[in-house]
Amino acid sequence: MNELHKETFKHLLEQIRVQVHQLKKRNRDLSKENQRLRSKLNEVHKSQTDIFSNISESERIAMKHQVNGLIEKIDRQLNE
């Protein structure tokens, strides 16, 4: 009976070793994928610009006046 327990223990221990090895490999793969995705995210983030960076100063001023005009119209509607 003792020998049977030893063999069962060895078998289970080997299964655990295999699972640990597989999990470590999966963890390495996920770490690599995570790093790749972080790099890609950083590239996308660096390439993004705000919506005002491509318009001239005069266009910005005109847009500001339009927005202010809309705000005034909304305020008038709310006050009536």
* pLDDT at residue 8 in the model: 94
Quick: pLDDT tens for 12-29: 999 999 999 999 999 999
Looking at per-residue confidence, does 55 or 65 come out higher?
65
Does residue 50 carry a pLDDT above 80? Answer: no
Strand ranges in 1-80 using DSSP code E only, listed in sequence order: none
Residue type, 35: Q
* pLDDT at residue 49 in the model: 67
- Tell me how far apart the alpha carbons of residues 16 and 6 are, in angstroms, rounded to a whole number: 15
pTM here is 0.52
* pLDDT at residue 57 in the model: 81
Does residue 46 carry a pLDDT above 90? Answer: no
